[in-house]
Amino acid sequence: MILWELVYRLGTMSFNFWNVNYFPSPLEVINRLIVLFTSSKLWDYIIDSLGTVFIGYTISIVFGILIGFVITHFKFLNENLSGLLLGLQTLPNVCWLPFGMLWFGENQKAVIFVIAIGSIFAISLGIISGINNINPIYIKSAKSLGAKGVKSYLNVIIPASFPSIISGLKQGWLFAWRALMSGEMLLATRGLGKVLLEGREGQDIVQIVAVMFVIIAMGLSIEALVFKKIETGIREKWGLNKC
């Protein structure tokens, strides 16, 4: 914070490297955060964004898990579609926005579509990677003990691939959060993306940076409260935590 304030003062007051409208002071950002959080409007936008990303991410979990298990179950699909999923995952989320707008219109449904389609492939790839890297002796031992079909998945395949599945879900969440901001900014429906857009249209760099901090804090909070706890539990169960 001190370095930031020093750069601001040197660049705007001492040497005039840039205009004050293009590089905010940390104190200005903190004051704007206080103003935003004392306003019910920001809380409404946060709730809107969380609701939208929750719906889109839930859809991506359902279809991502389904696609991952179906592909790994059939050898032909596993050999031919895994590369396709990886190629689709490399597409930026914003590339799917025209499809969402054409199919659903310029509304919240299009944003949910972009969130879901941007996360599905990351989740599927995590499941595919986890199942493909299971030690074959686990599956052979399960079969020799009579575990087949659903029993094999519940007792052997899912537990053995669970760390990779969680990693895929975490990656899917990161893509979902990015897609949310992209969709809300471009469609200007509601949520934190709209607050960013308002800051851009008003050339209010202080509001833009303040909302960026809110977005970062929310993303880190959810990662720490959900995924970090799950990963810690898995590491403890597998005996991977340091003594």
**Alpha carbon 16 to its chain's center:** 38
For residue 202, name the pLDDT band (cuts at 50, 70, 90): confident
Per-residue pLDDT band at 117 (split at 50, 70, 90): very high
Tokens coding 25: 């002071």
Determine the Cα angle at 119 with ends 115 and 123, to 5°.
155
Show me where the domains of the chain are located.
33-236
pLDDT of residue 242: 58
Report the C-alpha gap between 189 and 94 in whole angstroms.
16
CATH architecture of 33-236: Orthogonal Bundle (1.10)
Q: How far apart are CA 217 and CA 24, in angstroms?
A: 19
pTM for the model stands at: 0.84
CA distances from 140 to 71, 165, 222 (A): 20, 21, 38
Q: How far apart are the first and last CA of the chain?
A: 35
Query: What is the tens place of the pLDDT at every residue in 139-183?
Result: 788 778 777 777 787 888 888 888 888 888 988 998 998 888 888
Q: What is the pLDDT of residue 189?
A: 67
- Round the average pLDDT of the chain to a whole number and report it: 85
For residues 104 and 51, the answer to whether their CB atoms sit within 8 Å is: no
| CA 68 – CA 120 distance, rounded (Å) | 9
